[in-house]
Structure 1
Amino acid sequence: MGTFTTSDGTTIFYKDWGPRDGRPIVFHHGWPLSADDWDNQMLFFLSQGYRVIAHDRRGHGRSSQTSTGHEMDTYAADVAALTDLLDLQGAVHIGHSTGGGEVARYVARAKPGRVAKAVLASAVPPVMVKSETNPGGTPIEVFDDFRASLAANRSQFYIDVPSGPFYGFNRDGAQVSQGLINNWWRQGMMGAANAHYECIEAFSETDFTDDLQQIDVPVLVAHGTDDQVVPYADSAPLSVELLKNGTLKSYEGLPHGMFSTHPEVLNPGLLDFVKS
């Protein structure tokens, strides 16, 4: 693990495990989490001989709690600074939820040779919020409620989200993992309230249509059909339509946090895509 400093003085924490000559896989976490959310997948790919890398987004985890930069252009610029620092070539970038938006924005602007493939998993593109041009989107009032709940009692909010819709633990018959709930809360509370508050706008209102249309590399779009956070119908199928080389893989009945609840299902599919 290590840190680096961006051009605006922000310290970014990152993990970098595995052989330096191994094919790099870069993981991008969701809101309001950290690189730790990818522990299972990083260990899985590490065991397959890959070099695995994940960073804490600014204002999240162990990175600086900044006053500015909590929007997708800066998030992508921070990723570009990390890939320049490590001089990554032919990397596979895998993003979950907000991290999927970060991947789309970064890959669309990446230097030639940096990226070989990408994965958008339960990801926010093309755009989440409902509007005249996105009638199937999520009403802005939902995100206003997110902001109000975070401001009123962030600690309780960060128990309620993983206990309910994030992992689908509010569904009948769900196998609830208190460890996942506790770890979600731990990661969330490590970060900055201001960054998480502002990131709600970044993940819900950013339109990634142009980014998706500009991406030339193969992209796997993976999404659970019972995603209660980023509804399937307004995300995955629409993203694939915009991509030049996109493949849709739907996971029947799986929740937003499916990489944590069903890694034994998701990891082999990721490996197949990386190898293909």
Structure 2
Amino acid sequence: MTRALTAIASLVCLALAALGMTACSPLALFDAIGPRDAGGRQALKNQPFGPNPRQRLDVFVPVSAPETAPVLVFFYGGSWQSGAKEDYAFVGQALAAQGFVTVVPDYRLYPEVQFPGFLEDGAAAIAWVRDNIAAYGGDPRRIVLAGHSAGAYNAVMLGLDPHYLRSAGVDPKVVRAVAGLSGPYDFLPFDQETAQRVFGQAPDPAATQPVAFVGPHSPPAFLATGAADTVVRPRNTQSLAAKLRAARVPVQERIYPGLDHSDTLLALSVTFRSKAPALAEMAAFLQGQANPRVQAAARARP
């Protein structure tokens, strides 16, 4: 298959995965014909972090790294209804090549759970990371969270609302920064079917919204989306970024011209990296914020 056909096939499969459809596996396609970042490798597969079959994670490490590296926990999307960590090994390897010990966890999905079950799973995965990641060269004191679409919601919500981490026995301060690609952060009222199913039973709808938890001690955030995204509108990114700036929290906002909902995920892969500098910009921001001196200096600026 030519490179052009490979790109087309990869685009179709990854777009379906980003929209919560599982008609084909992007990871299976990438394993067969897609190039991978040579600077990362998988070090652990299907590690339990809880008793449920969906509570498993994979770990990717840099091929060349200092004695300890910052840790990035990546949550994939799928409308909280679908997805599998195996389909996102290309992301784990790409982020590991950027210098992060990278963890990609599964989490329970609707209809097995509704809000906040998937957030509780995310917090449990972070607790495992805190307790075990040093064995893989990761620094448990320098954890950053990232995700795409519904996974961006998970990452950002876990960073902004500290009670999920505290309930899992984790000090929220270990999260140095968060990054969201095309995430929903400000989506009241629940006027879409997915939101109604997953969040509609919440006794306090406002407590489901990341924007409700912004404060001066919120972690720094990298927030990116595509200007052509009609699945999760760019106003979500703009609203959260504005709230963070108003609270004087460091935030880097990127709205990439011409990109749609799946494109911000695709841009992390070798095949589609020319779509936007999302990988390089996100990695640079998170690497900087994982350095305590950089974070302290950023917060001290007037």
- TM-score normalised to structure 2 length: 0.59
Residue 6 of structure 2: aligned partner: none
Pairing partner for 1:4 from 26, 29, 48: 48
Matched to 2:99, the amino acid is G
Partner of 1:162: none
Moved more, 31-40 or 254-263: 31-40
Instruction: Name the residue aligned to 2:34.
Output: none
Which residue is equivalent to 1:118?
Answer: 178
Aligned pairs (5 A) from 1:4-153: 4=48, 6=50, 9-11=51-53, 12-18=55-61, 21-31=68-78, 32-59=82-109, 67=112, 69-71=113-115, 73-87=116-130, 88-108=140-160, 109=162, 110=165, 111-127=171-187, 129=189, 140=191, 143-144=192-193
Residue range with higher mean Cα deviation, 216-225 or 99-108: 99-108
* Distance change (3 Å), C-alpha of 1:209 and 1:24: same
Question: What is the Cα deviation at residue 215 of structure 1?
Answer: 5.3
1:239 to 1:96, Cα distance in 2 relative to 1, 3 A: same
Letter paired with 1:24: V
Give the C-alpha shift of residue 50 in structure 1: 1.9
Residues 256, 114 of structure 1: CA spacing in aligned structure 2 closer, same or farther, 3 A cutoff?
Answer: same
SS in 2 for 1:255: coil
Q: What is the RMSD computed on CA atoms of the aligned residues?
A: 2.8
Structure 1 residue 214, shift from structure 2 partner = 6.7
Where 2:152 maps in the other structure, the secondary structure is helix
1:224 alignment counterpart: 226
Per the alignment, in what secondary structure is the counterpart of residue 101 of structure 1? helix
Q: Distance in 2 between matches of 1:92 and 1:223?
A: 19
Q: What letter is aligned with 1:270?
A: M
Q: Deviations over 1:74-110 (max 9, x none)?
A: 2222122112122132111002111122122211214
Q: Note if contact 2:211-2:239 (Cα within 8 Å) is conserved in structure 1.
A: no
Residues 16/126 of structure 1: CA separation in 2 closer, same or farther (3 Å cut): same
Task: Provide the residue aligned with 1:158 in structure 2.
Answer: none
Unaligned runs of 5+ in 1: 61-65, 131-139, 148-196
CA contact (8 A) 1:212 1:242 kept: yes
Q: Secondary structure of 1:113's partner?
A: helix
The whole-number CA distance in structure 2 between the counterparts of 1:217 and 1:49 is 20
SS at structure 2 position matched to 1:118: strand
Cα distance in 2 for residues equivalent to 1:3 and 1:215: 32
Secondary structure of 1:268's counterpart equals helix
- Letter in structure 1 aligned against 2:264: F
Check whether the contact 1:95–1:121 (CA below 8 A) recurs between aligned residues: yes
For residues 56 and 86 of structure 2, what CA distance do their matches in structure 1 show? 11
- Tell me how far apart the structure 2 counterparts of residues 202 and 239 of structure 1 sit (CA, whole Å): 24
What does 1:193-272 correspond to in 2, within 5 Å? 198-199=197-198, 206-213=208-215, 216-233=218-235, 235-243=236-244, 244=247, 245=249, 246-263=251-268, 264=273, 265=276, 266-272=278-284
> Residue 127 of structure 1 contacts residue 208 of structure 1 at CA under 8 Å; is this kept in 2?
no
Q: CA deviation at 1:198?
A: 4.0
Shift of 1:16: 1.1
Q: Indicate the SS of the match to 1:38.
A: helix
Does the residue aligned with 1:216 lie in a helix, a strand or coil? coil
Q: Work out the percentage of aligned pairs sharing the same amino acid.
A: 16
2-structure distance, mates of 1:202, 1:259: 30
Report deviation, 1:39. Answer: 2.9
**Would you identify which runs of 4 or more consecutive aligned residues in structure 1 move more than 6 Å?**
none
Contact 2:182 2:261 in 1 (8 A): yes
SS at match of 1:94: strand
Q: CA deviation at 1:275?
A: 2.7
- Residue by residue over 1:147-171, the C-alpha shift from the partner in whole angstroms, topping out at 9 and shown as x without a partner, is 9xxxxxxxxxxxxxxxxxxxxxxxx
Contact 1:95 1:101 in 2 (8 A): yes
8 A contact 1:240–1:248 mirrored in 2: yes
2:225 is paired with a residue of what secondary structure? strand
Change (3 A) 1:223 1:201: farther
